[in-house]
Amino acid sequence: MPDVLVLVDHDGERVHKSTYELLAAARRLGDPAAVVVGAPGTAARLKESLARQGATSVYAAESAEAGEFLVTPAVDALELAVREAPPAAVLVSATTDGREVAARLAARLDSGLLIDAVDLDSSGVVTQIVFGGSYTVRSQVTHGVPVITVRPGAFEPEEHPGEVAERALTLPATDPAASARITARRAAPAGDRPGLTEAAVVVSGGRGVGAADGFKVVEELADALGGAVGASRAAVDAGYYPHQFQVGQTGKSVSPQLYIALGISGAIQHLAGMQTSKTIVAVNKDPEAPILDLADYGVVGDLFAVAPQLTQEVAARRAVG
């Protein structure tokens, strides 16, 4: 079977869950081949976990300067892998960086590009949610090697252990004049909650939360469920919660097993970022809120009355089970 290239998203020590989802998607088209871009030794640290999740080969695209530039080294690595042995497709996670990598790669290869896929079949036909979530379409690349970005959470990781071959790619020197160099790094505040795009449960708050202090009820419910906290653009713009937690068309796209929306009316921009969630629960005191039409379960009521009761019930059931 032909290879399907998967760009590995990692922090140097750990492979992110979105990559395991890509490997599961890649198996529908061929043999998953993971492309690791990083400092020397990175691929060796990640190879075992990639093999456990089904990678049949690992391309090690390593250099001392790979982590000093944005996007360009990843594009270079994928282009080299494609030129070496044309794959059935290239899969990249639909993150901010991933979309840019995919677009640049497609331009270099003169290939078709499909973004934000939520499903993929064995013939290469991709399902997408487009125009802010208004339409579901099925598309297929008809020119060149398909380059596809996949929405985090769209596929379930599947352990598929086997032997893995390692191949080396020699990255070219990056032209500083044509690439964005990273001049400084600042660690984001870390907590015990899972990452927003990797969480199985996401609890989001909107304008209805009323104030930054009001997000305490959102956080308490998320912690009771072992989930991540999200926010609507209205809540972020109002200063209730940090921007990096925004869910929606101009924020992060999520597709968890359970999405709980507290005080979110359901503007189409927000729905575009979460409507592929497996189960959606909405709490809103406005019975005409658009999100109630999308929700699997809707509660018309005050979130400050409903959410604490739900948190208490979840905590009680966990205590006995």
Q: Which residues are annotated as a binding site for FAD?
A: 207, 232-233, 246-250, 263-270, 284
**Cα-atom radius of gyration of the chain, to the nearest Å?**
21
**Dihedral sign, Cα of residue 112, residue 128, residue 26, residue 247:** positive
Binding residues: 207, 232-233, 246-250, 263-270, 284
**CA 196 vs CA 47, 94, 173, 213, 243: distances in Å:** 25, 14, 34, 20, 12
Q: How far is the C-alpha of 295 from the C-alpha of 290, rounded, in Å?
A: 9
Q: How far is the C-alpha of 231 from the C-alpha of 123, rounded, in Å?
A: 37
Q: How far is the C-alpha of 148 from the C-alpha of 155, rounded, in Å?
A: 14
Q: How far is the C-alpha of 218 from the C-alpha of 231, rounded, in Å?
A: 9
